[in-house]
Structure 1
């Protein structure tokens, strides 16, 4: 037509990204109504913590009589008014939590997990399948009483992590399995099929796909706690408090009583966290479940393990018990905060610890691994494999200088460390550390010593070998740099299928 532009072909349509809307393929779900009780309970917990802190401060300052007189003068009427105000605040917090619960929902779609929240400030988070690092189930104390839990989904870098809950315990396990299945399908290029995770599953505590490999018995846990330094400090504090009460005044015993209460609390906390620790070989890695009041389940993918440490406290040598912990790529936040989440085996025999070491590290890069492990755990001094700390290091490390040594194999750097309180063996894979560092303080420079560090992004395993001879440290640095570059060039990665075949998962 005249006056209208002519085109020889239709203009190509631009691709449109999938919109984050409530489409037909997005079935939105809400959490359990018990979720809204958390705000009120957190408020009351905050009030209790403040009251305990005020009471503790009054005891430590000797102002307990003043606090008692203040409460007496306040009167019963004002106490009831304060309780009424707190109850009103609790009701308001519950109403606010109910409104927040109404606007909080999630969906499992072909592209990933979608999450919506917010009343005035809306939030819509889309976590793609290829960004998921781990999927775990946690149960805090209240959730465990209600037989509920939370599904925690960790993303790469930890920036978009999700906590989906509260849900029933069966739904948590079903949702976890559905997310893992969809993640594996997306990573392998298969069409993502969303399974019906709301259907209760049989055998939630030990699914058929998980094979048990370790369980911490109550007897072993009790014995390990009984011979711990925390119990010893508690006994000493109790004896000192009794002596001060008998021979001095009761107020003089208050500091020791506080130390005693702190020791008791640390023992109870460690006991509850380690209670019934069970390790399973799952389809996507090593799964650890533990907890008495609050149950936590974490999954450690074997391909993301950067370093492994096996150490033995001095008071466990009679029983030959060991601890095994790892550094995992997805647990950088926990490692920086010093969390114990990286501990896989809290109290294990030597056989159990070495078996778990092979689960994470298929090859130590030596011809006779059994003899090498024996030398790593029990050896001392220099050998054909290990470069040991010199005699001059005894001034800086009088108890452990004979054991301190380092070896570089084809696949890993192995550090042997000893001391008055514990001895350990640390394995750092060549293709996982970030950089190498050689450092020495003024005393070390005077003695001709240096420290060699394998720097990592974040680690719960100490990766520094201390007090080596300067010439040995330099030689180890250049050797590690060469072997590490070769290992990265080869880029030998054990696939999850190969791991399944090797460990029988």
Structure 2
């Protein structure tokens, strides 16, 4: 059984990147990137060669004995060794020359119409990103750039385009360029004359300051990983690998060592990705920055948030820690892994609820504090929540008591419980695409159904399962009615009103 209600709320986006207008180069001030940019191609080549050599060595050690491989290398002779080194050196030189030529023809300009970008030697590319298509502007630093105290200005475009990456530039230049783009974008949106200031000196002015609202300390991050099941699984895998290495010898233990190295690398990668996570209130939204070896940053405009989820893994309950993630339209958050949608990776209850208020100021209820307590900690039906019936315990024995849904003036709120985690999900009325009602074979026999709110992006799950059929139908039609009214009102908070409310 299924039911479907179309309720599209967004038209197809226009292409964000368009051919640049015919403007003479002499009338623009073109800027080149730092010379360190040309090192990237050469380093990528060497990394590719290293991967090939490692794969060849791994296969050789698997097929042959280690002594046979060593004898083979020793018999090659010094001449072949010099030939191989010469080939690698030649490839490195060619890659460096190619990178230098590419760097020479790559440049950008900031104009009153937008950002222009030129690149290419044989195939020329000239792109124009208009001010009204800019979604976010952030500064990112990969590992090499961080060592050189440089970075890249990443400009995301609305409509799901690729945007532009302007770099490498010095860290001060990145901050200055980011501020200049934000100021110009705001002037264009307000209909004012765009004035491009001198951004080469860098630095943030007092008007463009960013207020810190969250910082993940190393102690909390380390403790959150220590109490997670992944660490226990890693320790057991490590112990098993060491035991097998002791019992085995030679190349027979090599695959086990590689598996152990991969597991350790995943732990280090997860730790480094969340390291020093900081969230700021910037002029254009909520800006999050994190990273140990390389720093990445994302900006979430509050007006483009479609859904918010706050959930708590079972092993964090004694600490009352929560994770907050969002679904945002036309953003990098949709196209990458789910972790990229996480704004607060390890937050206290107060921090998570404050960020919820920053992103969604109105819950659509008269007593928001009591409503949030019931949403996060409650169970069973209440005056607001329609809960899953007792017969749903056969399909969800651990979480059926907490599973519930309600429709407020501004959003549909879902409460979900389970063995491993519990969560609350809030979907704004004016951002879902359509509504659906479904039931599987076992749900039909039990008189149950699922309510699904379909969206452009699905970072946050938007389905409430195992409700009584009559309750699911009533919620479906109530959401359709309230959602239509909300779209007609078109009551959306402007970025200026958001800044005044949160003090950004």
Q: Higher mean Cα deviation, 347-356 or 441-450?
A: 441-450
Report 1:473-484 matches (<5 A): 473-484=472-483
Cross-structure match for 1:275: 275
After superposition, the C-alpha distances for 1:178-230 in whole angstroms (9 at most, x for unaligned) are: 00100000010000000111113268xx9961111111111111111212222
Q: Higher mean Cα deviation, 490-499 or 240-249?
A: 240-249
1:387 Cα offset (Å): 1.4
Cross-structure match for 1:46: 48
Distance verdict in 2 for CA 1:446–1:200, change over 3 Å: same
Report 1:5-404 matches (<5 A): 19-23=21-25, 25-57=27-59, 67-68=69-70, 70-201=72-203, 209-247=209-247, 254=254, 256-331=256-331, 333-404=332-403
Cross-structure match for 1:10: none
Q: Is the 8 A contact 2:177 2:202 kept in 1?
A: no
| Inter-partner Cα distance in structure 1 for 2:396 and 2:68 | 51
Distance verdict in 2 for CA 1:228–1:69, change over 3 Å: farther
| Inter-partner Cα distance in structure 2 for 1:144 and 1:80 | 34
| Inter-partner Cα distance in structure 1 for 2:64 and 2:325 | 44
1:339 Cα offset (Å): 4.2
Q: Which has the greater radius of gyration?
A: 1
1:66 Cα offset (Å): 5.9
| Inter-partner Cα distance in structure 1 for 2:468 and 2:258 | 45
Q: Higher mean Cα deviation, 259-268 or 66-75?
A: 66-75
| Inter-partner Cα distance in structure 1 for 2:381 and 2:212 | 39
Q: Is the 8 A contact 2:66 2:250 kept in 1?
A: no
Distance verdict in 2 for CA 1:372–1:256, change over 3 Å: farther
Q: Is the 8 A contact 1:237 1:256 kept in 2?
A: no
After superposition, the C-alpha distances for 1:296-316 in whole angstroms (9 at most, x for unaligned) are: 122111111111111111111
1:75 Cα offset (Å): 4.1
* 3-state SS in 1 of match to 2:344: strand
| Inter-partner Cα distance in structure 2 for 1:477 and 1:486 | 14
Distance verdict in 2 for CA 1:424–1:29, change over 3 Å: same
TM-score, normalized by length of structure 2?
Answer: 0.91
Distance verdict in 2 for CA 1:501–1:348, change over 3 Å: same
| Inter-partner Cα distance in structure 2 for 1:57 and 1:424 | 46
After superposition, the C-alpha distances for 1:391-418 in whole angstroms (9 at most, x for unaligned) are: 2222222221221111111100111111
Q: Greater RCO between the two (CA within 8 Å, min separation 6)? A: 2
Q: Is the 8 A contact 2:306 2:428 kept in 1?
A: yes
Unaligned runs of 5+ in 2: 1-18
Distance verdict in 2 for CA 1:57–1:315, change over 3 Å: farther
* 3-state SS in 2 of match to 1:401: coil
Unaligned runs of 5+ in 1: 1-16
Q: Is the 8 A contact 1:238 1:256 kept in 2?
A: no
After superposition, the C-alpha distances for 1:235-259 in whole angstroms (9 at most, x for unaligned) are: 1012212333445667665555444
Q: Is the 8 A contact 2:20 2:116 kept in 1?
A: no
Count of residues paired in the alignment: 486
Cross-structure match for 2:498: 499
Distance verdict in 2 for CA 1:415–1:257, change over 3 Å: farther
| Inter-partner Cα distance in structure 1 for 2:299 and 2:78 | 52
Cross-structure match for 2:435: 436
| Inter-partner Cα distance in structure 2 for 1:309 and 1:115 | 37
Cross-structure match for 1:414: 413
* 3-state SS in 2 of match to 1:158: coil
Q: Higher mean Cα deviation, 243-252 or 191-200?
A: 243-252
| Inter-partner Cα distance in structure 2 for 1:139 and 1:163 | 12
- Taking only aligned residues, the RMSD between alpha carbons, in angstroms, comes to 2.2
| Inter-partner Cα distance in structure 2 for 1:383 and 1:70 | 76
Q: Is the 8 A contact 2:102 2:121 kept in 1?
A: yes
TM-score, normalized by length of structure 1?
Answer: 0.91
